[in-house]
Structure 1
Amino acid sequence: MKNVLIIGITLLLTHLAQAQSLHLRVEDSVTHAPLSGVTIRTSAEPPTGTTTDAQGQAQLASLPNGPNQLIVTLVGYQPYRFRLTLPLASPDSVVLIELAPTEAALEEVTVTATRSNSRLEDLPIKVEVLGLEEMDEESAVVPGNVASILGDISIIHIQRTSLTTGNQSIRMQGLDPKYTQILRDGLPLYEGFSGNLGVLQIPPLDLKQVEVIKGSASTLYGGGAIGGLINLVSRQPGAEPELTMVLNRSNLRETNLNAYYARQYNPKTGLTVFAGLTNQPAVDVNQDGFSDAPLIHQVTVHPRLFLTPSTRNRLNLGYTFITEKRSGGDVTALKQPEGLHTYVVSNTIQRHSADATFDHRFSEKHTFTGRGTLSFFDRTEVNNGFHFSGRQLSGYFEAADYSQRGAHALVAGANLTLEHFRKGASDSSRISDFTYNTVGLFLQDDWRAGNKVTLQGGLRLDHHTVFGNFFLPRLSVLIKPNEQWSVRTSVGTGYKTPNIFANLTAADSRTQSRLSYRYLLPLRANLKSERSVGLNLDVAYKSTLGEHLTVQLDQAFYYTFISNPIVALSTDTTANRRTLLQNANYDLRSVGTDTYLRLEYDEIEFYLGYNHTLARRQAANGTNLSENTYVPFSPQDKFSLTLAYHIPEKWRFGIESSWVGNQYVYDNRRVANYWFWAAAIERMLGHFSLILNAENIFNIQQLKYGPVVTGPINNPTVQPLWAPQEGRIVNLAIKYKWH
């Protein structure tokens, strides 16, 4: 008996010597807030388990050495499984676990563009978010770019700026595209020369969400965000590995093949990879001899690495490679030039971008963030025999400190923006090489003045090496009398420095079709920077009625004033045609309202939006303005409607519509109103889905209201583009999704 007891004690001591305690910390993958009440258990039988405390910390004792599989669960979050091998290299280290919110927790949407990672409903400025569910649906409906889903928002108008290249630009609050700033993961990658072509050629499959800030947002990102800001947020790896592939084909013979893979290998390492291919021939839809859909050959690769070496440090690394060729013009010349059939416009681009974001958390209420990007952009254009080429090296580097001090949430930082352009050696254009550097300091304070009032004040000071200093104050107020109602008001300033590429699309006359690099003169020394003041007011109501119906009603008002707008003026003399950028003799004033209603009842979603905008050119300093009263290509009225119905794991149906009315082009000429309708149906079969989509169902084309291309075949003139060109588009997609 004594020997048996000795053997038992020896085995127990041996087991204890081979076992190890494991220290863990669990937090929200988006807000990084600690999560309490999380269940952590082993998969072995019998299971061993524990729960996290108020600080999100837990300890599992007496785990055996060797491989161990843990299961982490919490209501409202996706279950997380992972393996680790004991003993750890550092026995006292804390294993960090991040749980991703499930779709049931979408009301906790976090906006990254505001730097404070605040919840959507707590922000003093108005932000609209298109989330992961919308991106997932759009990835098969219109897989090539995000233009379609952005155009569904009533305050955004997508304008096609080139017939030959198919390029599209974003207009917000009735203002020119240059007044909307576009970010990728909080970084300005599309400025100057690199932002002039194909900004919206970003597939939705590569995006987690799109954040739309309405109105001036210049404090954190600089003066360019005058009409609004759009932040395209990349996806991150979740708890389970994911592979999604989409193959799409349209009646325009466009083929898209996109693939996305994500995996969190362990608590310290994660990876996402997106790869996309687009191939489309030039197509003459309206049979006028000129292409309405350009030839496109595009390849995109975007890998991202997520490293968490410790509970306090996080490093995200990314690289983007895009190569693209676009050609349009005379369809006969595109196949084989002959006789007078020589008109071809071709663009070849290549983009390399590397980005990094580093977070160091001193405490739960204090985080330092350093981020930066370096981008190389190469573009060659052949425009009816004229050759233009240029290269841009651009960079953005920022250091920001976020801290919570009582009722205040402070963001303070500095950034450096670089833009270095060199044109090709054989280029005969008059455009000059240039280098612009901007140093900025910013400070933002979110002050919770009480349970119902939050004040947000912002200050920014920029120094541009060519155009001087800019001081940008901003003030926003959020009033929440209860959980259903909120009132937001904001006033802010902005600026836009002269840039020969950003301002080329802002034409001042009907000569827009002749605005090309061939005739563009260098910037004049006496050009003034544009200045702006914007005011926004938003009243919102959101509530759940009964058990199933969610209602969201939003009414917004906005006003924007811009002085010294820079426009492109082109001479009409063919023998000595020149395009000059100069400050106009008028100011820009945009005033409008934006209303939308969003309903959700079980699996039915309904959206109805109406935008009314008066964007006018008004005489400045006593000058007489006799024409061009309305800003061209800015519809005064736009209705947007979306209706969707979802049968889980079986069917999804959707209808979208928009009415564009009271739109003017050059010389204050009003054009016809038109409806745009689209519909889609998806059948889900396990891991596979079949999606049939139809855009522009009733085949609206600008040609029905007059010729689009006029003049001689070998040197045509393209009329202002204000309506769809491609006509009806039908596409069929096959989607494979594995978790």
Structure 2
Amino acid sequence: MNIRKSAACFLSFLMLGPSLQALEPNTTSRVSGQVVELTEGREQAVAGANVYWAHTTTGVSTDAQGRFELPWPSDQADLVVSFVGYRSDTLHLTKASQQLKIELQADSQLDEVTVAARQAGTHLSRLNPVTTMEITSAELCKAACCSLAESFETNASVDVSYTDAATGAKQIQLLGLSGTYVQMLTENMPTSRGLAAAYGLDFVPGPWMESIQVSKGAASVTNGYESLTGQINVQYKTPATSDALFLNGFVSSSGRLESNANTGFKVGQKWNSAVLLHASTDARENDHNHDGFLDEPLTRRYIFMNRWETRPTPQLFTQFGLKVLDEERTGGQSAYSRNRAAGDQDAFGITIDTRNLEAFFKTGYTFPGDPESSVAIVANFSHHNQASQYGRVAYDATQNYLSTNLILASRFGDSDQHKYTTGLSFLYDDLDEELHGDLSRIQAPDGNRTEQVAGAYFQYTYSIPERLTLLAGLRGDYHNQYGSFVTPRLHLRFSPNEHWVLRASAGAGYRTPNALAENNPYLASSRHLYIQPDLEMEKGWNYGINLSRYLHLGLRELTLNAEYYHTRFDNQLVTDLDQSAREVHFYNLDGRSYSNVFQAEASMEVLRGLDVVAAWRINDVKVTTNNQLQRKALQGRYRGLFNLSYATPLPRWQIDFTTQFNGPGRIPSTAENPVDLQRPENFEAFQVFNAQITRYLRRWDFYLGVENIGNYTQANPIIAAESPFSEHFDASLIWGPLMGRKVYFGFRFSIDRPKQ
């Protein structure tokens, strides 16, 4: 759209990069390695082992390959490695080391007892004061993880569902609220904001991801003010740890074909680079309910990423990279052709063409002699262009986004108990929107806007090693449209002993409403669309408490987790489907809106190689729509999950089975429609079953799976599908699966990097 603005933003980003002097606190001298166990004479990685510096709260959990990396704290230090069922090991190090190999020994006082444990692919961080679930690559391989949208099928906390029955757009829900209140991050850099929210979950290929961190409640103030219900941070495969060659192929009975390739390599002595490639297509026209509309859009998607990193000195670390995406999406009636003008054919069609360019630069410097003090800067830029057609309405939009963050981390005096992080941030976001065609049913103000937000923050951390951590943050921001506002956040972690961890949090969050950009899939219905002019900034408060209990049952550990989160809005962009079956209204909250979510979860390796996860969540989410406080529409009142994962003693076979329990919910009234076009006022509870079996070879993995084994789908999801240009046509009332049983097959091939 406005190419001049886009070019100016990107040019300013490129000019900023070379002048940066820092990022990533404590990213100079590092200690890294792998934790293993010896089983039947063979080394096996230990995932989820705790690795931390003695007498501090600085630590990590090992990934699916048993690898870890920590900043080097001083001239000498004690590194502690622990895992349930094994003897803890302490290493006294006098210098940083890059390739430690630590072999844990079984902790058994009885003769002829063999101890072995397999950490689940998802685990709760024990040291982080923020409630954070770590989803490792091992967990992502339990299901058909083709994109970020499909990464949470075995996770009890995050829901992913379709926003409508025609466009294929998906939305995340966390703590009972939509994904717009979840801050999406890529390696702690904000992404998927505004225009990218509707379809952006499909833009992150699953095989590219190394891990996902899901943080609940108010987040750290260092990443901005927008997180209200939590953060989802994606960690891509890095240049230093990527395989020399990784290939992935996938095919499903629905007609989806996908391939991924990535490689990591050294350039000279101090540079590492990685290239990641993705190509996929949904080429089969599926219409299993015979309503004339495709169950899923046809897609063609290509994504390319190149990233670099270097450590020219022990104190300086730099990363930068580029990602390019090109996607075509075609939905609507099967008779529609994207090669003909929409006005020249009787069929209802949807075309969405997306071009996206992302770039990032970050660098960090740790002060010599004081590894707790560092200065860093992060900058990321995104240019997102969407050209779309919904029936007789065209929606074209371009968004340019630039975010920079200067970070200083240090401590008060020589005490490791008192640390702080402070910094300055700047956000630039320019959105241009245009509507064309038949606009008789649309009343929307000019959606073009340019945001400029300057902010400053300070965060203080007080810790008593392994017992107490207090994290208090405050940030102030000035918005060119909404003026000044303050964001306070507080986190507390208390662990009286190794068996109990209690966390509590409270904080505020703000968000700029993007009514049309984030909700343009509603254009794929005949509902009249009304957007209130001069929408105010959204503001809410989140309060949460989390209690974890670790029980040793023999030589195994049972993890119990219970949590409660309350979110309330002072102001909210309300999406109202209740005023009329033929209208959707977007306006500022006039009344109450809140969410109460309680979740309980248990996980354990009950037998050698057999992991069990069981979870149950209750959603009490209400919002004032049509002048009445009522339960949020199209959301289940509860959700449960039961997951079984069995791996043979030698890592040759793995079987995964997941059951998702979805509770009943409310459907907006359709009583004003003709009788044959009305829908019930509620939907019933339903279950979805998924299974996968994986065969592991030396370099190859082969997997075969079935999604939605019971073939459950929402009946007649589109109202008046036979008359898509009539006033009753509506594809927005979606609460259940749209695709039935799907069988898929895939493979993974990898060649390790040569050891240095």
Q: TM-score range by the shorter chain?
A: 0.7 to 0.9
Residues 473 and 493 of structure 1 are in contact (CA less than 8 Å); yes or no, is this contact kept in structure 2?
A: yes
Distance of 1:669 and 1:461 partners within structure 2: 44
Change (3 A) 1:26 1:661: closer
Q: Secondary structure at the match of 2:71?
A: coil
Q: Which residue of 1 aligns with 2:469?
A: 454
Match of 2:95 among 56, 69, 75: 56
Is residue 614 from structure 1 mapped to residue 593 from structure 2 by the alignment?
no
Is residue 683 from structure 1 mapped to residue 695 from structure 2 by the alignment?
yes
Q: CA deviation at 1:316?
A: 0.8
Residues 205 and 260 of structure 1 are in contact (CA less than 8 Å); yes or no, is this contact kept in structure 2?
A: no
Q: Secondary structure at the match of 1:308?
A: strand
Residues 429 and 451 of structure 2 are in contact (CA less than 8 Å); yes or no, is this contact kept in structure 1?
A: yes
Is residue 389 from structure 1 mapped to residue 396 from structure 2 by the alignment?
yes
Q: Which residue of 2 aligns with 1:403?
A: 410
Distance of 1:25 and 1:571 partners within structure 2: 58
Residues 571 and 588 of structure 2 are in contact (CA less than 8 Å); yes or no, is this contact kept in structure 1?
A: yes
Distance of 1:404 and 1:238 partners within structure 2: 29
Distance of 1:166 and 1:425 partners within structure 2: 21
Q: Which residue of 1 aligns with 2:250?
A: 248
Q: Which residue of 2 aligns with 1:496?
A: 511
Residues 175 and 634 of structure 1 are in contact (CA less than 8 Å); yes or no, is this contact kept in structure 2?
A: no
Change (3 A) 1:273 1:427: farther
Distance of 1:563 and 1:505 partners within structure 2: 25
Q: Which residue of 1 aligns with 2:113?
A: none
Q: CA deviation at 1:584?
A: 2.7
Distance of 2:117 and 2:376 partners within structure 1: 30
Residues 268 and 310 of structure 1 are in contact (CA less than 8 Å); yes or no, is this contact kept in structure 2?
A: no
Q: CA deviation at 1:489?
A: 0.8
Q: Secondary structure at the match of 2:631?
A: coil
Q: Which residue of 2 aligns with 1:44?
A: none
Q: CA deviation at 1:318?
A: 1.4
Residues 389 and 427 of structure 1 are in contact (CA less than 8 Å); yes or no, is this contact kept in structure 2?
A: no
Q: CA deviation at 1:408?
A: 1.6
Is residue 524 from structure 1 mapped to residue 533 from structure 2 by the alignment?
yes
Q: CA deviation at 1:367?
A: 1.6
Is residue 468 from structure 1 mapped to residue 483 from structure 2 by the alignment?
yes
Q: Secondary structure at the match of 2:497?
A: coil
Q: CA deviation at 1:335?
A: 7.9
Q: Which residue of 1 aligns with 2:386?
A: 379
Distance of 2:196 and 2:732 partners within structure 1: 25
Q: CA deviation at 1:311?
A: 0.5
Q: CA deviation at 1:31?
A: 2.2
Q: Which residue of 2 aligns with 1:712?
A: 723
Change (3 A) 1:727 1:695: same
Q: Which residue of 1 aligns with 2:270?
A: 268
Unaligned runs of 5+ in 1: 1-23, 39-51, 59-70, 78-102, 111-118
Change (3 A) 1:451 1:120: closer
Q: CA deviation at 1:194?
A: 2.6
In terms of mean alpha carbon deviation, does 298-307 or 417-426 score higher? Answer: 417-426
Unaligned runs of 5+ in 2: 1-27, 33-67, 79-90, 105-115, 670-679
Is residue 74 from structure 1 mapped to residue 101 from structure 2 by the alignment?
yes
Distance of 1:261 and 1:328 partners within structure 2: 34
Distance of 2:394 and 2:263 partners within structure 1: 40
Distance of 1:629 and 1:25 partners within structure 2: 55
Q: Secondary structure at the match of 1:633?
A: coil
Is residue 122 from structure 1 mapped to residue 127 from structure 2 by the alignment?
yes
Q: Which residue of 1 aligns with 2:350?
A: 345
Change (3 A) 1:733 1:635: same
Change (3 A) 1:541 1:33: farther
Q: CA deviation at 1:725?
A: 0.3
1:575-613 CA deviation, whole Å, 9 max, x = no partner? xx9865321322211112111111124322111111011
Is residue 333 from structure 1 mapped to residue 339 from structure 2 by the alignment?
no
Is residue 27 from structure 1 mapped to residue 28 from structure 2 by the alignment?
no
Residues 218 and 494 of structure 1 are in contact (CA less than 8 Å); yes or no, is this contact kept in structure 2?
A: no
Q: CA deviation at 1:196?
A: 2.8
In terms of mean alpha carbon deviation, does 537-546 or 270-279 score higher? Answer: 537-546
Structure 1 letter corresponding to 2:481:
V
Change (3 A) 1:34 1:218: closer
Q: Secondary structure at the match of 2:177?
A: coil
TM-score w.r.t. the length of structure 1 is: 0.80
Distance of 1:573 and 1:613 partners within structure 2: 25
Distance of 1:607 and 1:451 partners within structure 2: 26
Question: Which structure 2 residues correspond to residues 688-699 of structure 1 after superposition, within 5 A?
Answer: 688-699=700-711
1:533-572 CA deviation, whole Å, 9 max, x = no partner? 111011001255434x232110001111112221245899
Residues 718 and 730 of structure 2 are in contact (CA less than 8 Å); yes or no, is this contact kept in structure 1?
A: no
Q: Which residue of 2 aligns with 1:233?
A: 235
Question: Which structure 2 residues correspond to residues 98-497 of structure 1 after superposition, within 5 A?
Answer: 120-135=125-140, 137-138=141-142, 141-217=143-219, 219-238=221-240, 241-264=243-266, 268-281=270-283, 282-334=285-337, 341-362=346-367, 363-405=370-412, 406=415, 407-423=417-433, 431-449=446-464, 452-497=467-512
Residues 241 and 264 of structure 2 are in contact (CA less than 8 Å); yes or no, is this contact kept in structure 1?
A: no
Change (3 A) 1:514 1:218: farther
Match of 1:596 among 601, 605, 609: 601
Match of 1:671 among 683, 695, 715: 683
Q: Which residue of 2 aligns with 1:18?
A: none
In terms of mean alpha carbon deviation, does 562-571 or 416-425 score higher? Answer: 562-571
Distance of 1:184 and 1:640 partners within structure 2: 27
Distance of 2:538 and 2:77 partners within structure 1: 53
TM-score w.r.t. the length of structure 2 is: 0.78
Change (3 A) 1:426 1:726: closer
Structure 1 letter corresponding to 2:394:
H
Q: CA deviation at 1:314?
A: 0.5
1:456-480 CA deviation, whole Å, 9 max, x = no partner? 1111112111011221112221110
Residues 578 and 668 of structure 2 are in contact (CA less than 8 Å); yes or no, is this contact kept in structure 1?
A: no
Residues 218 and 224 of structure 1 are in contact (CA less than 8 Å); yes or no, is this contact kept in structure 2?
A: no
Q: Which has the higher contact order (CA 8 A, sep 6+)?
A: 2
Residues 218 and 507 of structure 2 are in contact (CA less than 8 Å); yes or no, is this contact kept in structure 1?
A: yes
Distance of 1:482 and 1:309 partners within structure 2: 42
Structure 2 letter corresponding to 1:465:
N
Change (3 A) 1:703 1:341: farther
Distance of 1:226 and 1:189 partners within structure 2: 15
Q: CA deviation at 1:267?
A: 6.0
Match of 2:573 among 556, 566, 576: 566
Q: Secondary structure at the match of 2:568?
A: strand
Q: CA RMSD in A?
A: 3.4
Q: CA deviation at 1:356?
A: 1.1
Change (3 A) 1:439 1:487: same
Q: CA deviation at 1:285?
A: 2.4
Structure 1 letter corresponding to 2:513:
P
Q: CA deviation at 1:649?
A: 3.6
Question: Larger Cα Rg: Structure 1 or Structure 2?
Answer: 1
Structure 2 letter corresponding to 1:559:
H
Residues 238 and 274 of structure 2 are in contact (CA less than 8 Å); yes or no, is this contact kept in structure 1?
A: yes
